[in-house]
Amino acid sequence: MRGTQHEYVSEWVALVRGHHSEMDPTEARIRVHAALGAVNDIAATPHLRASAGIDAAARIVCGALLRIDPPRA
């Protein structure tokens, strides 16, 4: 299980660094772990999951952590 988690995080790190080649691998890994932690906390907390607008808020927070601009309308 731990190996699978490491591979999953590594895949996200590679994706983030693909968008930000200047980003240090350690910084990218920290940012990925922070974003995954935020999403996991939302998923595990019933009142957060039920909050109106939580999807948009999670996209904003994770986008900021991963330095990904939101899609343009």
More confident residue, 2 or 39: 39
Q: Which residues contact 26 (CB under 8 A, 6 or more apart)?
A: none
Q: What's residue 3's pLDDT?
A: 82
Do 13 and 25 contact (CB within 8 A), yes or no?
Answer: yes
Tokens 């691998």, located at residue: 25
6-58 pLDDT per residue, tens: 899 999 999 999 999 999 999 999 999 999 999 999 999 999 999 999 999 99
Q: Is the pLDDT of residue 71 over 70?
A: no
Question: pTM here?
Answer: 0.86
